[in-house]
Structure 1
Amino acid sequence: MGAGHDARTGRGPSVVARRALRTTLAACVSFFVCLYALDRPVAATYALFGVVSMAALSHIPGTGRQRVAVLIRTTPVAWVLVTIGTYLAVRTWTAVAGMLLIGFALAFVAVAGPRAAGAAPGLQLLYILPCFPPYAPDTLGERLAGATFGLLLLVLAEAFVLPEEPGPTYRRLASGAAGTAARCAAELGRAPYTLSAASTEAALASGESLRPFRVDEADRPAGPGLRDRALTHAGLAARTLLGRMVNLPPPPRPPGPLPMELESEVLTAVGRAVGESAALLDGTADSTEAAGVLRKVREEAASAAAREPPTTAARGRRRAALLEVADAAVALVTAAELAVRGRRAQVPCDVDAGRFWYAGRLAPGLWWHRVAGHAGPRSVHFQNAVRISLALAAARTIAGVDSLPHGFWAMLAVLSLTRTTAAQTRATVRVAITGTLLGALVTGILLALIGGHTVVYAIALPFVMLTAFRVGPVRGVGWAQGMFTLVVAFVFAQLAPVTWQLAEVRILDVVIGSLIGVVFGVLAWPRGAERELHRAVALLLTREAETVERTTGAVVEGGPGRTPDDEPLLHALTMAETAFAQHQSEPRTHEGPRPDWQAAMMTGHHVLWGSRRLLVRGGPAVGPENGARLDGRATGLATRMRREAQRAGRAPGDPEPEGALPPLGADADGPPGLSSPRFFSALAWLDSLAVDVARVTASGHPFGPARPKSPSAPGKPSAPGEPSAPA
């Protein structure tokens, strides 16, 4: 990695230098105090590795103060892990069983979002450390005291030493988007009843700012809790509302599709409600009185539309689009109140329960919903947890059976070098072993020259550690492994007499750990998220097609409103977004144009929201002529979605799906006859999905197999991207 990295990602040179200084300060001070001032070598070891585990091995995103919050919450977990590891270490089989179970649990906690995923490797190391000799349960108190002291100094360093400036939070960005929507609503309520070019640009930019990859990982609302889910929902609703406003058709004249007074009343209510939501999200107000007015006005507009069927398709479309604006605004204000007030928020019963199913649920139930959704072999979180837990258990078995000296280094190599793809693991291992060999060579020479002069090691340790934590994240894994070899040698040289053979042991452990990582990388889902992404998107497109057909059929037949059964589509969307998020962090393995994964996922969101809106409200049948129009449009869309699902799910070398594709549907600009407002709402929904499907298929065969790269071609990282919603 070069020196030009964005500081927002937490890996720019200045950010890395600050973190290296804080880590070195906390680790060295805690180590020296415990070893030289208190003469407690066990406590000194745990103090130093407690800091290294949570500051260097972990990748907790955010500013120092945000990391402090994570460290405080995880400290009790660290106590439990050190305690369990101490007592299970006395027998190899108990240590291996514990490694298998705890290793899986700590890796699987990534389902809780980036902050939990970032802390997991460090917690793994805190369990690994007491799993090796000396097996001394009587020193548990000293181990816990040392780890606690080190973590305490790390918390103080993160909070007060060279703190970073926080970036914009997702909540503030959602507030800004809601404020932009309020201004757009005010402009749409005035002649000429359309947005100016400047307002359109501002609306699009505000919606783009809510895309997850534009927000630091620490500020993404990706957790399973109620507030995080609601804030994610608020961001999606804000993006939907802004999009509906930008694409709102101009009112046909004379007369308008609704009485102009009522249309103006709808837009005024939307503007006031989302303006209050903006202030609520920003923390400058605590009132949402306009939300109730908006819901009432929306119902009045829907009733008025039902009483006065339009005489032209243009008028019907304007009316349907205006009601969609009101629905998106209701979703935004409801989600914003849930995000700020949590379970204290009042969600009216007239709002579709399926959209806000999480409102009022307790945290354990929401956690279980998230965990259960990923508890299967099709989840990349599950795959990663199985892979790393099996590799760690194998390393612990080898270390216990063969009495591998300093065996925890082998497990540390497994933990730090294993990647989500076999190819990436092999490439990382080659560089890591090279760096370790060079670092061990330098270490052996220095140990032979310095000998038993402990003072020299103590003086040099802070400088070596600062260099390691400063250079490693910037120059790559080879430099990190080589410099860390020096660090551990200088640490152990102060704990007990050492010779140049310590470097030899370090090489042996890293090689063994690396080979274990490669083996399990090959055996367990070697292609990482790539193949899983193909499967997930194929299933998502199939579910989208089924939902389009089922929803259109319900609109054509008419009937009372009902809660849709959209759990299969929602689960498929979650699996696809999770796989896509991991796929973005993996190197590209093929040349040529990449599939437009995000177009398929954005289509999933549009299918989900539109289906809910149409099914919950119900309505009369649309009539034979209009029913045939909707059926034709839905059939064309569903067929194209299934064709893309076949392309996404096929293996390389499989033939292209055959057969002509039906048209997406005839234009419906003719006289609509007497029809319910649901016809125009469904027509607008299918029209927008036709645009989405055209985007998915725009590159010809976006899910076809690409030409493999030549063996000599270097790996090229994928371009930045993100799931369409925080996972």
Structure 2
Amino acid sequence: MNLVGPASPLGRLLRRPDAAPQLRRALWATLAGLGAFYLLRYVFDEPAMALYALFGALPLTLFSRLPGTARERTGPLLAALPAGLLLVTAGTLLAAHSWSAALGMFVVAFVTSYLGVGGPAAGGLATSFQLYYLLPCFPPYAPDALGERLGGLAVGMVTAALVDRLLWQGPLPPPYRILLAEAVDAAAEYCALVARRIAGTGDETAPPPHDRVDRTLFATRLSQVALPERPTGASLLHRGLYDVRALLRHLVNQLDRISTGLGSPAPDEAHLLDRTADGLRRAAVVLRSSAVTSPSPDPLVEALRSFGVARLAAVRSATPRRLRLAAVVHDTAAAGMLLAEAARIAFGAAPRRPWRRLGSPFRYATVGAPVRYWYRLRLHLTPRSVLFQNALRAALALAGARLLVGGLDLPHGFWVLLATLSLLRTSASDTRGALGPAFLGTGLGAVVAGLLVVVAGDTPAVYLVAAPLVVFLGFGIGPLLGTVWVQAALTLTLVTVFAQVEPPDLAIPTWRFLDVLVGGLIGAAAALLAWPRGARSELRRSAVRFMATSAQTCQAITERLCRPPAHADTADADATDADATMLRAADRTLRLVQAAYTQYRTEGASRKDPELPWELAMASGYTTVGGGALLLSEHAADTAPLPPDVATQLVALSARVADDCRRSAESVRCAGTVQPRERDDCPADASGPLTLAAAHRSGPEPAALVLIADLEAWLTGISYATTRVDRVMDDLRAGRAAGVDHRS
């Protein structure tokens, strides 16, 4: 039987996409961790420093998840050194009493976990920081050994950074900007095709490039992206990339609307979409090159201005259908313009002058990094944030474990907290599912370690040779095989390392198994008591709240634009601030639901439950927030009153659309189990407000007619998005009745 060939089980295992990165990580841990350990243990005869060098390097090599290349990771790894020294100092000094050590554990676990909301660089080091506090906060209380501990830790952390920099790099996941560039390119192709069709020169029978658009957009979902590459931070790069994705989703939705309502040729609109496609291609170049190369001023800005002039000139003679088409095309082009601006800002360009005002979607680019980071921390400082829930759950579990270890006076209490930390998941079911393999793996490792101790006895050379093999193979192959093998490898690693510091004892494997048992049960209890359903319940609540906020926002913006302040000079500042506050509330809710959805896709529940249309549920919010911001930027300064009957029609339409949003939210809240109520489709091109606008051509100013068309197109766009949600929910309900599992 061939055990090592390409067709063998090992060969198939090594061909997995995650095999090479995992082997690289294991080699990193072996060279950095054991290299520093052997240097201090056998060359300098400093066993205490050697242990801290090992535990300074292993958390960084095995548990850190930092974005970028080795060169880019060097900075964060070295910047973690002062924090590591501070945490070891705190753990050493607080180890005098169980209550002080537990209190410190709570603070350290919560702060290090919660700071991860600022981005993957901080979040990727959270586990390492917790372990740096864990190791010295157990007896013996030895403040006089603090110097040795800090010296060993510094050697281990510096060695880890050095080895990472010099080691073979290995394959990296594609940067998020590249995934976005592919999606933007696909949208540009789609936009150009729609332009040809509304110009009357395209092939009406050719299908739109939906496959590529859908595939590339799906690849940009945060839940599909490697954790270090997710744009969840407060930096300009992450904020800009996040905005590019949101605007792209809105733009594609608008292109879908245009392509489903093609009529007579519209050359002006086709020309603007062509320029929009060119702008998207330029934005894709910026994303791929990480450099701002687009000319200034942006040609799309000039195209939008020219289209606006032509639109004003022709608005009195336009049919209701043409009024809506012009409005949707204008909104699409404006979204493309904002997308290009977000891409520029992501790579260091200052926002152009129009986007520096209060209420601008790019206001964040005019404030410093500390302010942006503070906004992100404040956003998630709520029990409704899954990131806050995770931090609090981990802090309670680890602090409780530390109190229990102190109360029971368990030897090797560090292993109890290590087990709690490694087995605690974001939901009770996932934690429970991890316990069985962990106990089995630890038991298997304890048996093998016991046999090794019996055979090798007190012969350090055996453990010296065995440790590198255990670390490299255990953490290189083990994660590919599952939790059982990782826990077995961890148990063997601890035994082979401690046997080189103190005489080996059969009691060590036994205590290791008992400590994992205690730590796993503590983690299970914490997961059961603190938000046991993980992100599933919070996702539903957040999505429903987001849809309800969108409903309220669309009504408020319509009221604001239909009935502007009578004295603009005195009310403009207050109105602008109110507009910004209104959109910020919806945007905050959107970011909370995005975080919940991203976590939900990593949990077991997402693989068991029928998939609700979460992305579609958020799409109506994208249209509300993104389209609303565009409307306010275009028309907030307008003071000309609309004809009363048109304003009444628009306000009534906004109320109807808001009811649609709330009804869809209720359907999502009940997971599609409620029977749908009768509803009309999205209003036709000759809807009431457009028909009334055409009837008032000789009265209102052209700018008022444009506002009517833009508002009507925005509201019907939200209705279009909620209709898509309802259709998927209807299919899901029908599938349940027929015993079929529909997944979006």
One fold, TM greater than 0.5?
Answer: yes
Could you tell me which residue of structure 2 aligns to residue 77 of structure 1? 83
Q: How does 1:164-563 map to 2 (within 5 A)?
A: 164-175=170-181, 192=199, 197=206, 200=209, 207-241=217-251, 244-245=254-255, 248=258, 256=266, 266=272, 270=276, 273-283=279-289, 286-292=292-298, 294-309=300-315, 310-341=317-348, 344-349=350-355, 353-557=359-563, 563=576
Distance 2:235 2:20 in 1: 33
CA contact (8 A) 1:347 1:359 kept: no
Q: Structure 1 residues 523 and 467, CA, compared in 2 at 3 Å: closer, same or farther?
A: same
AA at the equivalent of 1:690:
S
Unmatched 5+ residue regions in structure 1?
708-715, 722-727
Residue 193 (structure 1) shift: 5.9
Distance 1:541 1:104 in 2: 31
Could you tell me which residue of structure 2 aligns to residue 644 of structure 1? 664
Could you tell me which residue of structure 1 aligns to residue 631 of structure 2? 614
Residue 23 (structure 1) shift: 1.3
SS in 2 for 1:566: helix
Unmatched 5+ residue regions in structure 2?
1-8, 698-703
AA at the equivalent of 1:37:
V
Matching residue within 33, 38, 41 for 2:39: 33
Residue 462 (structure 1) shift: 0.8
Q: Structure 1 residues 144 and 182, CA, compared in 2 at 3 Å: closer, same or farther?
A: same
Residue 67 (structure 1) shift: 4.4
AA at the equivalent of 2:46:
R
Distance 2:250 2:649 in 1: 26
Residue 514 (structure 1) shift: 1.4
Q: How does 1:88-237 map to 2 (within 5 A)?
A: 88-175=94-181, 192=199, 197=206, 200=209, 207-237=217-247
Bigger shift: residues 101-110 or 422-431:
422-431
Distance 1:264 1:535 in 2: 41
Q: Structure 1 residues 147 and 365, CA, compared in 2 at 3 Å: closer, same or farther?
A: same
Distance 1:274 1:340 in 2: 16
Could you tell me which residue of structure 1 aligns to residue 701 of structure 2? none
SS in 1 for 2:410: coil
AA at the equivalent of 1:494:
Q
Residue 536 (structure 1) shift: 1.0
SS in 1 for 2:124: helix
SS in 2 for 1:667: coil
Residue 576 (structure 1) shift: 1.2
CA contact (8 A) 1:321 1:681 kept: yes
Matching residue within 570, 573, 582 for 2:590: 573
Distance 1:629 1:665 in 2: 15
Over aligned residues, Cα RMSD in angstroms?
A: 3.6
Could you tell me which residue of structure 2 aligns to residue 598 of structure 1? 615
AA at the equivalent of 1:374:
H
Distance 1:195 1:149 in 2: 66
Matching residue within 654, 662, 669 for 2:686: 669
AA at the equivalent of 1:228:
H
Residue 551 (structure 1) shift: 2.6
Residue 11 (structure 1) shift: 6.8
Distance 1:579 1:5 in 2: 35
Bigger shift: residues 422-431 or 300-309:
300-309
TM-score by length of 2: 0.85
| Match status 1:680 vs 2:697 | no
Residue 13 (structure 1) shift: 2.1
CA contact (8 A) 1:556 1:623 kept: no
Q: Structure 1 residues 497 and 504, CA, compared in 2 at 3 Å: closer, same or farther?
A: same
Q: CA-to-partner distance for each residue in 1:16-48, whole Å, 9 max, x for gaps?
A: 222212211222211111100111111110111
SS in 1 for 2:26: helix
Bigger shift: residues 629-638 or 463-472:
629-638
Distance 1:587 1:631 in 2: 44
CA contact (8 A) 2:538 2:596 kept: yes
SS in 2 for 1:499: coil
Residue 337 (structure 1) shift: 2.1
Could you tell me which residue of structure 2 aligns to residue 710 of structure 1? none
Distance 1:238 1:644 in 2: 23
Distance 1:409 1:705 in 2: 51
Q: CA-to-partner distance for each residue in 1:551-600, whole Å, 9 max, x for gaps?
A: 33334445678542222211221111111111111112896632212211
Q: Structure 1 residues 384 and 46, CA, compared in 2 at 3 Å: closer, same or farther?
A: same
AA at the equivalent of 1:313:
P
Q: CA-to-partner distance for each residue in 1:112-135, whole Å, 9 max, x for gaps?
A: 233432321122111101112332
CA contact (8 A) 1:179 1:275 kept: yes
CA contact (8 A) 2:95 2:101 kept: yes
Distance 1:589 1:166 in 2: 26
- Percent of residue pairs identical: 31
Q: CA-to-partner distance for each residue in 1:660-716, whole Å, 9 max, x for gaps?
A: 444355424264333611222223223332332122122446898999xxxxxxxx9
Q: Structure 1 residues 6 and 185, CA, compared in 2 at 3 Å: closer, same or farther?
A: farther
Residue 6 (structure 1) shift: 11
Distance 1:19 1:54 in 2: 10
Residue 350 (structure 1) shift: 7.8
Residue 613 (structure 1) shift: 1.7
Matching residue within 679, 689, 699 for 2:718: 689
AA at the equivalent of 1:613:
L
Q: CA-to-partner distance for each residue in 1:453-487, whole Å, 9 max, x for gaps?
A: 11111111111122221233122222211221111
Q: CA-to-partner distance for each residue in 1:380-439, whole Å, 9 max, x for gaps?
A: 111111111111111111222332111100000110011111122122122212221222
SS in 2 for 1:96: helix
AA at the equivalent of 1:301:
F
CA contact (8 A) 1:115 1:217 kept: no
Distance 1:200 1:142 in 2: 63
TM-score by length of 1: 0.86
Residue 441 (structure 1) shift: 2.1
Bigger shift: residues 678-687 or 184-193:
184-193
Q: CA-to-partner distance for each residue in 1:612-655, whole Å, 9 max, x for gaps?
A: 222332245554565465445433332232223334445x9xx9
AA at the equivalent of 2:445:
G
AA at the equivalent of 1:159:
R
Residue 379 (structure 1) shift: 1.0
Matched length = 700
Q: Structure 1 residues 297 and 689, CA, compared in 2 at 3 Å: closer, same or farther?
A: same
CA contact (8 A) 1:184 1:199 kept: yes
Bigger shift: residues 238-247 or 333-342:
238-247
CA contact (8 A) 2:247 2:626 kept: no
Bigger shift: residues 637-646 or 389-398:
637-646
Distance 1:167 1:60 in 2: 12
CA contact (8 A) 1:555 1:621 kept: no
